[in-house]
A and B are shown apart, each in its own frame.
Chain A
């Protein structure tokens, strides 16, 4: 049990994980992640992979929305750019996936810069509407530029090969995704302790005050758009190689909305929140599905209303979190931690 926070050198004071308990939790998490694929069924591995991809995308979106305060409804479009970018590089130019994925992420970052340009003049809901338009336009381009994307036809991406092994199973892809997701989380966590991260938070909290203390508001906004889109493009590219099929239906406005839901439910401006939110939004429909299937024998009508139940619950969860716990799952997790930190002597 702790009785206070004492450090005798700057190194340990500035460490990412300062408390013994934090270190224990991080260790447990890492061990859990390594052990997980050996214990899990393919079903759970699939879900874990989806969560990993969604977490990367959610962290990307959180940089933009949660930390910099720029609302974006264009997540689906950025993921499309990443997915098609990497997919096309692999299919048309035979670029290996470990080069095509970063390249696609860079392309998405440039796209993010372009979409970010209106943020020079617009903020709040005007920016949200502008990104909504960008989303619609990218969707249109993807479905109508047959020569490049194949239009509404699916783009088939061959399974990637690494060290001579084909990464075509959930179990193998898991390792790629986990390494990338952990790297992204670590990168983001450190980013927010840096000059750049603090500048973003300053812009989010009060942009005029930020510019008064010398933050180049427009430059940092663009940087936020670029960094965010880089990560979102990364998750889109990973999704392309993981699914090995790219279709435009995976990148509609619904996707933008579900990612916004992830970071709202998880907690705006937190890394752990991105993970919690991604997990919930991935697991929720899966759980409802399982529930519906288990009811199939007793209540056959359950299967027919299943999609609507999923949709309704999705909406309901968003509303309930916003009304009851606007700071999201990350806050709930913090509450639990605070409770146990001094447990059983809470005073």
Chain B
């Protein structure tokens, strides 16, 4: 086992893991605020990548403006989805919530494919892509930057939950909806903010993926990869999503590097089942799962 191969695998695993973490945070935010599992998170990611592609490559905006426009549009989509699809279903059983987000994912996917087609697109990378020597191993700058950007964003989000009004309101609602309502917190507002935030974090992750692996339809599969991450970290925990993302990313990267049979495709799901059997609320989740 070479030390520099190990380091390369670690860096690429961590950078994938941080993307997972970003997607997972969006997931967690929605779950915390409304107990909804969002199966359309992968499609939000897809939308983010293609929107960035549209603004930067097709409309020729400079990348800073393009990113801003992408994030704004993503937030709009999140808000619209919440208002039209999720709000009428508040209080419906779990199966309806799951199905409606699945329907949503199908619809969003169709819209993306309808507008941009299914063929992979060349994305004008704006994250510099050269290679540097890092602790004696050659690693891509883009990978390191992805890790850095994700780390900054995740810190900001954690601070948001600790210190801002909306963040605290969100935690209050997650804790006890009735009590939060009686303290004058608007659930509608918080839900809208949650969906907008989920869409924005997914869009950021989408832009990063566009830079490192390109814009293609395959991005959707990352949406399904997020389930092991959030279950491992705990469905309602932002730090859990970050740790879970890192762990699953590394695990995938190491299995891909040291085994040959494509096992990395299912290792996360095996972890998922193990976690569900042993500790269903995950590493950092709140232990409120109902036992039968």
Contacts and interface: CB of A to CB of B under 8 A. Distances in A.
A315 B291 contact: no
B65 interface: no
B144 interface: no
A308 B113 contact: yes
A334 interface: no
B68 interface: no
Interface stretch (B48-56, B94-102, B160-168, B243-251): B94-102
Interface in B76-108: 85, 88-89, 92, 94-96, 98-100, 102-108
A319 interface: yes
A58 to B, nearest CB: 14
A211 to B, nearest CB: 8
B101 to A, nearest CB: 9
A260 B105 CA distance: 14
Interface string A220-261: 000000000000000000000000000000000100010011
Given A122-B276, A268-B95, A311 B106 contact: yes
Contacts of A261: 99, 102-103
Interface residues of A, number: 49
A120 B95 CA distance: 19
A133 B292 contact: no
A46 B257 CA distance: 47
Interface string B248-292: 000000000000011001100110110011001000000001111
A192 interface: no
B277 A318 contact: no
A260 B96 CA distance: 10
Interface in A109-153: 118, 120-126, 128-130, 132-134, 136-137, 140, 144
A319 B103 contact: yes
Contacts of A129: 37, 227, 231, 272, 276
B108 to A, nearest CB: 8
Contact of A322 (B96, B106, B113): B96
Given A124-B94, A322-B99, A323-B85, A311 B109 contact: yes
A136 B223 CA distance: 13
Contacts of B108: 315
A217 interface: yes
Contacts of A264: 95-96, 99
Contacts of B96: 264, 322, 326
A318 B269 contact: no
Nearest to B266: A140
Nearest to B291: A121
A319 B104 contact: yes
B111 interface: yes
Contacts of A118: 273, 276-277
Closest 9 CB pairs of A and B: A318-B103, A315-B106, A312-B110, A315-B107, A311-B110, A133-B269, A308-B114, A319-B103, A315-B103
Interface of A: 65, 69, 71, 118, 120-126, 128-130, 132-134, 136-137, 140, 144, 207-208, 211, 217-218, 253, 257, 260-261, 264, 268, 305, 307-319, 322-323, 326
Given A71-B94, A129-B231, A309-B110, 4 more contacts: A126-B231, A126-B280, A310-B110, A322-B89
